[in-house]
Structure 1
């Protein structure tokens, strides 16, 4: 077992959230550089806070879903498929190993 929290496959599963996070970061930087409503700083603060809160929520959701995926993969290694018993698994043997 590796020491890393997420393996390569889990990181590939979670990579779909990189694009939305980049878009949200782009808009935060855009609103910071070019204020669309320069006369009203309250509107700018609300816009940036809504985007920032959404980005933080997406990042947290991505992290916790990655942990759930990793733990589910670890638990699945020890599970026997539905409809089978341990006796069936012993009779079938390991794939690629022939009985001698």
Structure 2
């Protein structure tokens, strides 16, 4: 999973580009199935050109943006949402390490209290 270019977070960031791609694709199909302005070759070519060219450029932009977002997450520290400009903010890795340490401590405390309860029951 670490080798994926477009993980869940990256896809969520790219949603602002993916939704217009679907909208443009819908209109290409709709105009191909139901020609609203007739089937005149020049008019149809201009109509589909005005849809296809932005679609291609937006698809390229979306792909490059996804690679840039994923690459930046590997190079630079990642902060929790809204914490990138806050002084002394903990990175996402530090936050996860603290959460894992707290969880391990809670499990150890539960094990110790369970052992004490079983010792008391034996007596």
What TM-score do the two structures reach when normalised by structure 1? 0.71
Unaligned runs of 5+ in 1: 82-93
Tell me the residue number matched to 2:7.
7
CA distance in 1 between counterparts of 2:23 and 2:11 reads: 19
Using the TM superposition, name which of 64-73 and 38-47 deviates more: 38-47
| 1:40-68 per-position Cα deviation (integer Å, ceiling 9, x unaligned) | 22101111122011111111100001101
| Partners of 1:31 and 1:44 within 8 A in 2 | no
Q: State the superposition RMSD in angstroms.
A: 2.6
Tell me the residue number matched to 2:63.
63
CA distance in 2 between counterparts of 1:17 and 1:77 reads: 25
The list of structure 1 runs, each at least 4 consecutive aligned residues, that deviate by more than 3 angstroms after superposition, is 94-97
Question: Shift in Å at residue 4 of structure 1?
Answer: 1.0
| Partners of 2:21 and 2:58 within 8 A in 1 | yes
Question: Shift in Å at residue 25 of structure 1?
Answer: 0.7
Tell me the residue number matched to 1:17.
17
Question: Shift in Å at residue 18 of structure 1?
Answer: 2.1
CA distance in 2 between counterparts of 1:8 and 1:26 reads: 24
Aligned residue pairs total: 85
Q: Helix, strand or coil: the match of 1:2? A: coil
What TM-score do the two structures reach when normalised by structure 2? 0.59
Question: Shift in Å at residue 6 of structure 1?
Answer: 1.9
Question: Whose helix proportion is higher, 1 or 2?
Answer: 2
| Partners of 2:18 and 2:62 within 8 A in 1 | no
